[in-house]
Amino acid sequence: MRWFFIDRLVSIEKGKRASALKNIALGEEYLHDLYPGFPFMPNSLVIEAMAQTGGVLVGHALDFKYPVFLAKVESASFDGFALPGDRLEIGAVFKEMKEGVCRVEGTVTVAGRDFASARLMFVQFGDPVAPEENFVFHRGLLSFLDQNGVLSDGG
């Protein structure tokens, strides 16, 4: 993953749920490209933050043995804009896994207010691979995400 839209993985419960944080800083380059003078995080990037959190949840359920890809955004809704200074509290809840297809519900709250939700579908790709061969969940990404030790705690 080249672009990170989560700053910290806060918690993960294997095969159940995960939570992450994204702090929107005024210095983020994408804020100034869409509507000059009105910086906000585009909803597509909010979906990406939910997808990254959900993807880690699915990958963790599969012990990071398979690359996992977002296959479909089944639905998404938003209430307002994600602005500089906002802290996105991102949740992902594992709904089902069947034949390599996983469904996750993502939510985002800002200052305790419901901001966004999405139903996401992920697919696992190919046969199990060794950690050094998994280009989605490579060691660098996992160590970045595991700053709090939530992945290694068995959480």
Is this prediction's pTM over 0.75? Answer: yes
Q: Taking the chain (155 residues) in consecutive chunks of 10 residues, what is each chunk's mean pLDDT?
A: 84 95 93 87 96 94 92 97 97 94 97 97 89 76 75 61
Predicted local confidence at residue 105, as pLDDT: 98
Cα separation of the two ends of the chain: 22
What is the CATH code of the structural domain delimited by 8-145?
3.10.129.10
Q: Which two tokens stand for residue 74?
A: 């089944």
- 48: Cβ contacts below 8 Å, ≥ 6 apart: 3, 5
> What is the tens place of the pLDDT at every residue in 96-140?
999 999 999 999 999 999 999 999 999 998 888 887 777 777 777
Q: What residue spans define the domains of the chain?
A: 8-145
